[in-house]
Amino acid sequence: MKKLFKYILNLIPRPWLIQLSYLVRPLLAWWYKGDRYQDPIDGKEFKSFLPYGYGQMRDNVLSPSTLSLERHRLLWLYLKQQTDLFTRSQKLLHFAPEQCFYHRFRESKNITYTTTDLNSPLADVKADICALPFADNEFDFILCNHVLEHIPDDQKAMVEIYRVLKPGGTAILQIPLDADREETFEDPSITDPVERAQIFGQYDHVRVYGMDYFDKLDRVGFHVDAVDYTSELGAKLVDRYRLAPGELIPVVKKVI
């Protein structure tokens, strides 16, 4: 099963995978039905989750129903329990919209929802994150999850996100973070997909972020908070929802 998933993930372009997932989700949800684990996004229970990974496969992490990963489920719990995203009228900008969130945000009555990406079939606006076609101070809330590690000039992307966020607004800018690494590592000369997967963790990543990521955000002008929400949930729920213990959520605000 692991080898089959890895083979598929590395051969099929991402937009095709998104389309294919609509067909396979009902079958996967039925096959893995049980009561040991739960996807908090849709509440469904399973005997196990699926393996997932580009460089190194991780066991029991991909939800059979929403196709969410650890970071998606953690983010959902944080958004529902610790923010006013679903309770106050506001404009949400979502980069590279994840399928597990897309319809839930779109159908929320209080959210004015805009999606953007260069390639995603779910994007309302095809745009470069480093040159956004939006006005200054336009959005109340921004989600940009596992995007910046793909962007050669991530500093410029951060500045653009800051520009279009309203004063007092909130953004969550998740990235694959190596908490044991103090400084971010990048090398533009590394372009081979296989070598990138070995060094950066995925064939289309251009860096490995260290703990200085939060300093980078601070220098752009954000007020930065590295939230360890798994510590508040506790070990039992972390296992139940198949989360990554200690994963930090980068929550930033544009100070008024």
Report domain extents, the chain. 2-68, 71-253
What is the pLDDT confidence band of residue 86, given thresholds at 50, 70 and 90? very high
What is the pLDDT confidence band of residue 28, given thresholds at 50, 70 and 90? confident
Least confident of 1-5, 63-67, 195-199, 238-242: 1-5
pLDDT at position 249, please?
A: 98
What is the pLDDT confidence band of residue 137, given thresholds at 50, 70 and 90? very high
Give me the chain's average pLDDT, please. Answer: 91
pLDDT above 90 for 13: no
pLDDT at position 19, please?
A: 57
What is the pLDDT confidence band of residue 14, given thresholds at 50, 70 and 90? very low
DSSP tally for the chain: helices H, then strands E: 9, 13
Between 197 and 43, name the one with better pLDDT: 43
pLDDT mean over 128-142: 98
pLDDT mean over 115-120: 94
Catalogue the long-range contacts made by 213-220 (C-beta closer than 8 Å, 24 or more residues apart): 213/175, 213/177, 213/184, 213/250, 214/250, 216/154, 216/155, 216/158, 216/184, 217/158, 217/173, 217/250, 217/252, 220/155, 220/158, 220/159, 220/162
Q: Which of 150, 137, 213 is nearest to 181 (CA)?
A: 213
Q: Are strands 185-186 and 125-126 parallel, antiparallel or unpaired?
A: unpaired
What is the pLDDT confidence band of residue 23, given thresholds at 50, 70 and 90? low
Q: Please give the structure tokens belonging to residue 157.
A: 């992307």
pLDDT at position 189, please?
A: 94
- Tell me the fold of 71-253: Rossmann fold (3.40.50)
pLDDT at position 9, please?
A: 52
